[in-house]
Structures are given as structure tokens and as C-alpha cells.
Amino acid sequence: MIAKVIVDVPVSRTNRPFDYLVPDWLQPLMDVGSRVIVPFGPRKLQGYVIEVAEMEESGPVEPNGKQPALREVEQILDDVPPLTPELIRLAQWMSRQYLCPWVTAMQTLLPSVLKGKAEKVLVPTEALERSVAVGSPLLSELLAKGMLPAADAEKRFPQEALLVPGWIKAGWLASEYRVKDRVTRKTVSCVTLLLKDEQVEEALATLPARAEQMKRVIRHMAMFGGEPMPVKELLEVLGINRSTLKSLEQKGYVRIEEREVYRDPYANRRFTQAVRHPFTPEQAAVWAPIAQAIDEGRFASFLLHGVTGSGKTEVYMEAIERTLAQGREAIFLVPEISLTPQMVERFKSRFGNRVAVLHSALSQGERYDEWRKILHRQVQVVIGARSAIFAPFRNLGLIVMDEEHEASYKQEETPRYHARDVALWRARETGSVLIMGSATPALETYALAARGRYQLLTMKERVGNRPLPRVHVVDMREELREENRSMFSRKLYAMMQDRLQKEEQMVLFLNRRGFSTFVMCRSCGHTLRCRHCDISLTYHKTNHTARCHYCGYTIRQPDRCPDCQSEHIRFFGTGTQKVEAELARLFPGIRVIRMDVDTTSRKGAHEELLGKFRAGQGDVLLGTQMIAKGLDFPRVTLVGVIAADTSLWLPDFRAAEKTFQLLTQVGGRAGRHELAGDVVIQTYTPEHYSIRCATRHDYQAFFQEEMLQRRRAGYPPYFRLVLVTFSHEDVPVVIRAAEEAAQFLRPRLAPTTQLLGPVASPIAKVKDRFRFQIMLKYRDEPDISDVLGRMASHMDDWLKQHQAGMTIDMDPQMLL
């Protein structure tokens, strides 16, 4: 027996299967998709079996007429292969699509326990426990102790250990992996800025000029309102050293502490049986084609475009139920942020213990346990964030992708896959039904649906004819003209007073995605934009410049607005703490529940705060993105958006789309129940179409306008993008790498393809490494992966020799 194995050496030269002989004693367990230990050169490596073949009489023959001597597989690590044949093909597809080694893709599909240093143990099965007489010392010991580390078994019972694969196959014992993280609490080291807003400038002035790194930390943290940030993130984003943080701590400017993060919130929870509602006419209309596709058991893809509260989730659950009734399995994907206890509860109460939940707050061990329920076919439904798309089901019938427009579906490290692409691949490959749902579909998705690539299903009404909230847009320039310099407009202020009087609840939303460092005129709403790229310039405080992160175009920060000559032009951004202070000043006695990284990092804090708000212990829920979706509070009748523009002028061609999505989602929080709702959107650019369209709940109009803009500027869905990023400690080297790659690519690209750059990346230095990038904009380039693959091979040696890094991001989501 021969096993074809992909070994764990992620470079292009080893990106193909190698043949190994399977010794007799291992043959009972040898299966496609298992992990094995094999000799490779002088080393022993882990590998993945992608094919098992019988020895041919006359195998491959070398030029000298001899058969090459095959080396032997040394160990098989799994009794149930963790990769199905379908997943092996998926990994191969991903390696081509996203330009990464096959083995890297395979590892991506598995829980991290299987990659790390977890210990393999043998455990007795029920069959062994029931058996009367056991003659084997190994098995007796196993029964007595309940488990035995595999390494011990081999050392102490070398002869019997050879029989273990056969025993596993016969169902006497099983192997599993144990990690030590089950009891330990998950904590993260965090930094908190101890300076008040008014102390920041003073501290900056006090620090010596050469303490540039310390200043950077203070400025960065002050920009985010002093919220605690993970040490790891600060080091990465700012490219500073740990010693810088230590110095700041000694000076008393920051505090560094271990903060606990939230573990399994569903343990020890009982779920009540769900009530099932008869479908509304709109639900029934979208349900018919879905049900038909499920019954036919063939590939079909749907885009379910339904306003918030139209009953999409009910339709998903019905589809899952129907799929299970067919004996097939279902994956339900949600963005991490909406994997709320409420959402899980809804599923658990409908499907009970047929559901596995995969979310990032689980420890490695807990994740592995949930994943094993899928592998061992103990569950038929998995609900989880991005990576749940890799669930090793063998009889998949349905994939649902809720909030399909969410950026978190894209993985921002190698392999840079999008869960939507993977979902489409798996649905096609397995003849499954794919439902993508959203109130605000991604432009790319809607464009494909409009062209008939996905079947478009629409729900325009909220369940129970609850009206969509009234949306009021307030022009903050007008407020300034009327001498109102507060962050609350007169309208929002008045409505808040009204709600306080009526004892109704409100949600205040601070739109602060990414770095809010664009430059805007507070008098006229004018923002500084790049002349060549049609995106906002990013403000750089260090040298008072504004720079385009696509092409490098730079100007000095102007003192006056180029449009209206006002002096009120400056960079923009507000923190939740500031808003909270302002609320206390304007509305004495108001009860504010603030939800941000600061108040929710403690274990269970998230749920606790929401519970308090639900119980009416707060008048205002104040927060960032994390309150924008998924929450459902009956008593909320007012939603205020403090500054809608903050995401509008980010240096990202998707800025308008993201703003529209955010405003629509936030609006969805108001008036979901009996009480009617109002939404107040404060903005400096009320005439902008993303704000106008969100106000009217008019996705169609937004889609059409945005498509025009994208066509004009040459962005997706009209053009596709590739972002190639280079990194090195020295600027000249990183520039040379980027130039070299650009030179290789230029003559090989179609004439219609644009190559932008090389130019410094938006975050120009990470972990002391400088970064440069090239962006490709292409329309008609069928061999793009191939060209990029050849470029990668071409660069391979050079990059290794210079220890430079390169990443290729197909269809990038994050351009910051």
C-alpha cells in the first residue's frame, strides 16, 4: 500500500504529493485525509494523506532500471481522518485561488489543536469497557486508568503498540488529543491610558524629543479615547517595542494588566423550546424556491435581501430543518460580532443538541471538542463565524451566510480567503443550497444577483407590519452656524429629553471604524481627497501632512478649508468616554450604559451590560460598532448616530458602502416592537447619497448610485483588485522587492490591467518592518492567479535570500 502525502514544508518546491510505503501494521488505519508522520530528508515531518493506492506490480522505474526505494510512513495520527476528500480538494482549490501552499490551506481547515503540541492519548471505548476478559496488559491498564498517553503506551508496551491501529479499527479503543488549556482562564495583556484628555498634550510636551515611540503610543491611545488595548495589537500596529510600554508604565502614563476574556457563555444554560411562527406572505414567497431547491438536493444559490426584522432568520431555520429532514447537514455562518447569546439561544432552542457552536471565545480545547462533534457525526448543524465554513461534514446540504456583506468573512492572514467564495465552492462541489442573507448586501453580491448568478429573493416589510423607523438627518454645519458647538444637535437633544420624560430607552451610536484620521472642514463638510484616486487623504500628525495611501500623493495640512476658507478644518474623531461625559453634563442624572472595548473586556461583561439595559437599568446604551447589529430591545424608541461621517471619508473605496450599511443596521435597532421608532443621523454631509439613501431605507437607489461611482473610478465590481504587500527591515530592500515584482508583472499583464505603485503601505511599518505595496486593478485577466503564481516563484529565492516578506491578497477587503 502506498500513501501520497503532502508534507508540512510550506514552500513551492514541496507543493506536491510524495509517495510513502504503508507498513502492514499501519494499514488498518490508513485512510485519505489522515495526518501522518513521515521521514523527509534527515527530518521527520507531519503530512496529510491525499490518496491511498495499492502497489502496482511494476511501479515507477528510474533511468537506471531500478525501482526507487520508498520510505515508510512512521505513524498515523488520527483514527477518524480530520479531512474529508472534499476538504482535500477544497484545500487544493484554495492553494491555487489564494496562492498559498497546499499544506497551508489544509492546516487552515483544521482546529489549531491538531497543528500544535497537543498530546495524543488512547481511551477505551464502551465496547472495551463492556468486554468480560481482557488478556492484554496494555488494554488492562487502559481500562484501569481510563486513558493512556500514546507515547507511554509505545514505550512500555512496544509489542502490543503495533496492534493498536487494528484495535482502533475494530472499535476497542480510540485516540484523541488533549490540550492543557481547559482549566486555565484565557487572559490577554492590555494597556490602559491613565491620562485624561486634557493631560495628553502636557505629557507629550514633557517627554524628550527622542521619545518618539512613547509619544506615538500616547497619541494613538488618546485618539481612541483611552480605551484599553491588547499589548499585542499595539506592538503590531505601531511597530514599537515592549520596553516602550514598560517605560510608559514606569512614568505612570499607562497601566499594563492581564484582562480576562470571555469563555463559553452557553455552558450550563438551559434552552426553552422555540415557538414556531406561521410564515408571513413575504416569507412564504421566498421560502417556496428555497424549499424546492432543498428538496431537489442540487446546487442552488440565493441572495435573500430582506430589511432588518423581515424574518430572515426564521427562513434560515426552516431551511435548516428541511435539510436535516433530508438526512443532510447544515452550516450557519454569522459574523463574529453577531454570534450573540441571543442568536445561539434561538438555534439551541430549535435544534437542541444537534448544534455545535464555534466561536472565537472558546479555548483551543473547547473548540476542538465542538469540532469533534462534527467529525464524529454527533451534530448535524454548526453555527459559527468565518472558519465554521470548514466544518468536516460528509453529507452537507445547506450553507447559510447571514449578514453576507460583513468584512469579517474575509481572513486577513494567509491564506486570505473569503468565506463566501469557499461557501460557493463547497455548495457547488456537494450539490448544496447556499443562502446569503443581508439587509444591505455587498455591492459585488447584489450585482451578481442582479445579473442572475444568484437567485434574488426580496423581503421589503418588517414582520407584523411594524413600520421602519422615521429617519431624521441633521446638518451639523447648520448647528455650528447657529453657535451650537456641542456634539448633540438641537433635534437629538430635544428627542432625548422627550424619551427621558416618557421613560423610553435610546441607543447612541458612535461610528468609529478603523482610524478616524481624515481631515474635514467643520464649516462646510469638505474633506481632503486624493486627486488621482478618489479616496480620502489620511492625516499624519507627526509632520502635519495628508497623504493618499493608494498612490502616495501628499499635501501639507491646510490652515484654511480650500473650499470655503473656514479655519475650522481639522482631523476628526470622538471617543465614547467623551460622549459619556457630555451626556452627564447635559442631562444630569441620566443613566448611561457604555459598551466599548473598555467596559466589555471582563468575562461576561458584554451580556451583563445588555442584561442591565434590557431590564431597564439604563436610559441610554452608548457604544461603537458592537451595538450596531443583532440586538433587539423592545423599549428602544430612539437611535442617535453622533457623527455619520466618520466612516464616510476613510481612505477606502468601500467607505460609502460601509457607511450606508452601518446606518441601515443601526436604524434597524429602533422600533422593532410595538413602539414606533425615530433615528437621528447627525452629519456634516447630509447631501451624500449614502446618507440620503439610508434615510429612505432605499437600497436600490444606493446600489445604482454606488455602481456609477465604482464604474467611474474603476473599482469592484467593475474591476477586481489584487494587493501585493512587501515587508523588510530596510526601506531600500523593501522598495527593491516591490520594484522587482512590478517589473516582472508589467509585461505579463493585459493592457487593460493597471498596476498602481509601488508605494508605501497605509501602515508603513509593522513590527519594525517597513511595508510597500502594489495594487493591480484588472477586468479581463483570466490567468491572473497563474501570473501571480509565477511572480511568486520568481521572487521566492530573492525574498528568502534577503529575508523579505511578500503577501498576495486577492480581492482585498482591508485597504487600510
Closest CA to 455 of 654, 285, 253: 285
Per CB under 5 A, 280 contacts Zn ion:
no
Identify whether the C-beta of residue 78 lies closer than 8 Å to the C-beta of residue 67: no
**Candidate ranges 154-162, 308-316, 742-750, 798-806; the one touching ligand ADP (CB under 6 A):** 308-316
From the CB of 713, what's the least distance to Zn ion, in Å?
A: 11
Per CB under 6 A, 310 contacts ligand ADP:
yes
> What, of Zn ion, ligand ADP, none, does residue 280 touch, CB below 5 to 8 Å by kind?
ligand ADP
Give, as one character, the DSSP assignment of residue 488.
S
Q: Dihedral (C-alpha) 79, 80, 85, 86: value to the nearest 10 degrees?
A: -150
**Candidate ranges 110-118, 287-295, 304-312, 512-520; the one touching ligand ADP (CB under 6 A):** 304-312
Task: Pick between residue 305 and residue 728 the one whose CB is nearest to ligand ADP.
Answer: 305
What is the Cα–Cα distance from 267 to 88, expressed in whole angstroms? 33
Other C-beta atoms closer than 10 Å to the C-beta of 739 total 15
End-to-end CA distance of the chain: 51
Residue at grid coordinates 450606508: 660
Task: Pick between residue 230 and residue 714 the one whose CB is nearest to Zn ion.
Answer: 714
Identify whether the C-beta of residue 643 lies closer than 8 Å to the C-beta of residue 513: no
> What, of Zn ion, ligand ADP, none, does residue 463 touch, CB below 5 to 8 Å by kind?
ligand ADP
For 335-440, strand residue ranges (E) read 355-358, 381-384, 396-401, 433-438
- What the block records as the C-alpha cell of 570 is 481639522
| Alpha-carbon torsion (324, 329, 332, 336), positive or negative | positive
Per CB under 6 A, 107 contacts ligand ADP:
no
Residue at grid coordinates 457604555: 594
Q: Is 639 helix (H, G, I), strand (E, B) or coil?
A: strand
Distances (CA, A) of 187 to 184, 241, 265: 9, 21, 16
What is the Cα–Cα distance from 737 to 743, expressed in whole angstroms? 10
Q: Which of residues 458-487 bind ligand ADP (CB under 6 A)?
A: 463
Identify whether the C-beta of residue 571 lies closer than 8 Å to the C-beta of residue 201: no
What is the Cα–Cα distance from 274 to 543, expressed in whole angstroms? 59
Per CB under 6 A, 277 contacts ligand ADP:
yes
> What, of Zn ion, ligand ADP, none, does residue 306 touch, CB below 5 to 8 Å by kind?
ligand ADP
> What, of ligand ADP, Zn ion, none, does residue 279 touch, CB below 5 to 8 Å by kind?
ligand ADP
Binding ligand ADP (rule: CB under 6 A), the pick from 283, 664, 753, 761 is: 283
Distances (CA, A) of 403 to 291, 334, 400: 21, 7, 10
Q: Which of residues 410-469 bind ligand ADP (CB under 6 A)?
A: 463
Per CB under 6 A, 309 contacts ligand ADP:
yes
Task: Pick between residue 310 and residue 761 the one whose CB is nearest to ligand ADP.
Answer: 310
Distances (CA, A) of 780 to 250, 750, 783, 792: 57, 8, 9, 21
Give the contact letters, 180-199, x = binds to Zn ion (CB under 5 A), - = no: --------------------
Tell me whether the omega of the peptide bond preceding residue 415 falls within 30 degrees of 0, making it cis.
yes
Identify whether the C-beta of residue 77 lies closer than 8 Å to the C-beta of residue 30: no
Per CB under 5 A, 51 contacts Zn ion:
no
Q: Are strands 2-7 and 470-475 parallel, antiparallel or unpaired?
A: unpaired
Other C-beta atoms closer than 10 Å to the C-beta of 137 total 12
- What the block records as the C-alpha cell of 481 is 452656524
Per CB under 5 A, 815 contacts Zn ion:
no
From the CB of 673, what's the least distance to ligand ADP, in Å?
A: 8
- What the block records as the C-alpha cell of 205 is 510636551
Task: Pick between residue 489 and residue 527 the one whose CB is nearest to Zn ion.
Answer: 527
Task: Pick between residue 53 and residue 288 the one whose CB is nearest to ligand ADP.
Answer: 288
> What, of ligand ADP, Zn ion, none, does residue 630 touch, CB below 5 to 8 Å by kind?
none
> What, of ligand ADP, Zn ion, none, does residue 100 touch, CB below 5 to 8 Å by kind?
none
Tally: H helices and E strands in the chain = 27, 33
**Candidate ranges 277-285, 539-547, 587-595, 703-711; the one touching ligand ADP (CB under 6 A):** 277-285
Task: Pick between residue 276 and residue 779 the one whose CB is nearest to ligand ADP.
Answer: 276
Q: Which of residues 553-582 bind Zn ion (CB under 5 A)?
A: 553, 561, 563-564, 566
Total chain residues near Zn ion (CB under 5 A): 15
> What, of ligand ADP, Zn ion, none, does residue 524 touch, CB below 5 to 8 Å by kind?
Zn ion
Residue at grid coordinates 483570466: 782
Identify whether the C-beta of residue 694 lies closer than 8 Å to the C-beta of residue 667: yes
Binding ligand ADP (rule: CB under 6 A), the pick from 215, 216, 312, 771 is: 312
What is the Cα–Cα distance from 677 to 41, expressed in whole angstroms? 69
**Candidate ranges 7-15, 176-184, 292-300, 302-310; the one touching ligand ADP (CB under 6 A):** 302-310
| Alpha-carbon torsion (124, 127, 131, 134), positive or negative | negative
Give the contact letters, 222-261, x = binds to ligand ADP (CB under 6 A), - = no: ----------------------------------------
What is the Cα–Cα distance from 398 to 323, expressed in whole angstroms? 7
> What, of Zn ion, ligand ADP, none, does residue 735 touch, CB below 5 to 8 Å by kind?
none
- What the block records as the C-alpha cell of 674 is 410595538
Binding ligand ADP (rule: CB under 6 A), the pick from 15, 189, 247, 280 is: 280
From the CB of 647, what's the least distance to ligand ADP, in Å?
A: 22
Give the contact letters, 159-198, x = binds to ligand ADP (CB under 6 A), - = no: ----------------------------------------
Task: Pick between residue 308 and residue 725 the one whose CB is nearest to ligand ADP.
Answer: 308
Strand-pairing partners, residue 722, are 776, 810
**Candidate ranges 100-108, 310-318, 475-483, 739-747; the one touching ligand ADP (CB under 6 A):** 310-318
What is the Cα–Cα distance from 491 to 681, expressed in whole angstroms? 10
From the CB of 745, what's the least distance to Zn ion, in Å?
A: 20
Per CB under 6 A, 279 contacts ligand ADP:
yes
> What, of Zn ion, ligand ADP, none, does residue 203 touch, CB below 5 to 8 Å by kind?
none
Q: Is 18 helix (H, G, I), strand (E, B) or coil?
A: strand
Q: Which of residues 484-543 bind Zn ion (CB under 5 A)?
A: 521, 523-524, 526, 530, 532-533
Binding ligand ADP (rule: CB under 6 A), the pick from 111, 265, 311, 441 is: 311
> What, of Zn ion, ligand ADP, none, does residue 277 touch, CB below 5 to 8 Å by kind?
ligand ADP
For 537-683, strand residue ranges (E) read 538-540, 545-547, 554-556, 569-571, 592-595, 620-623, 636-641, 678-683
Give, as one character, the DSSP assignment of residue 14.
G
Per CB under 6 A, 308 contacts ligand ADP:
yes
Per CB under 5 A, 372 contacts Zn ion:
no
For 631, residues 6+ apart whose C-beta sits below 8 A from its C-beta are: 340, 342, 610, 669
Binding ligand ADP (rule: CB under 6 A), the pick from 47, 124, 306, 686 is: 306
Closest CA to 333 of 247, 262, 426: 426
Total chain residues near ligand ADP (CB under 6 A): 14
From the CB of 429, what's the least distance to ligand ADP, in Å?
A: 28
Residue at grid coordinates 480581492: 811
From the CB of 275, what's the least distance to ligand ADP, in Å?
A: 8
Task: Pick between residue 468 and residue 775 the one whose CB is nearest to ligand ADP.
Answer: 468
Task: Pick between residue 15 and residue 280 the one whose CB is nearest to ligand ADP.
Answer: 280
> What, of Zn ion, ligand ADP, none, does residue 311 touch, CB below 5 to 8 Å by kind?
ligand ADP
What is the Cα–Cα distance from 519 to 540, expressed in whole angstroms? 10
Interface residues with ligand ADP (CB under 6 A)? 277-280, 283, 306, 308-314, 463
Interface residues with Zn ion (CB under 5 A)? 521, 523-524, 526, 530, 532-533, 548, 550-551, 553, 561, 563-564, 566
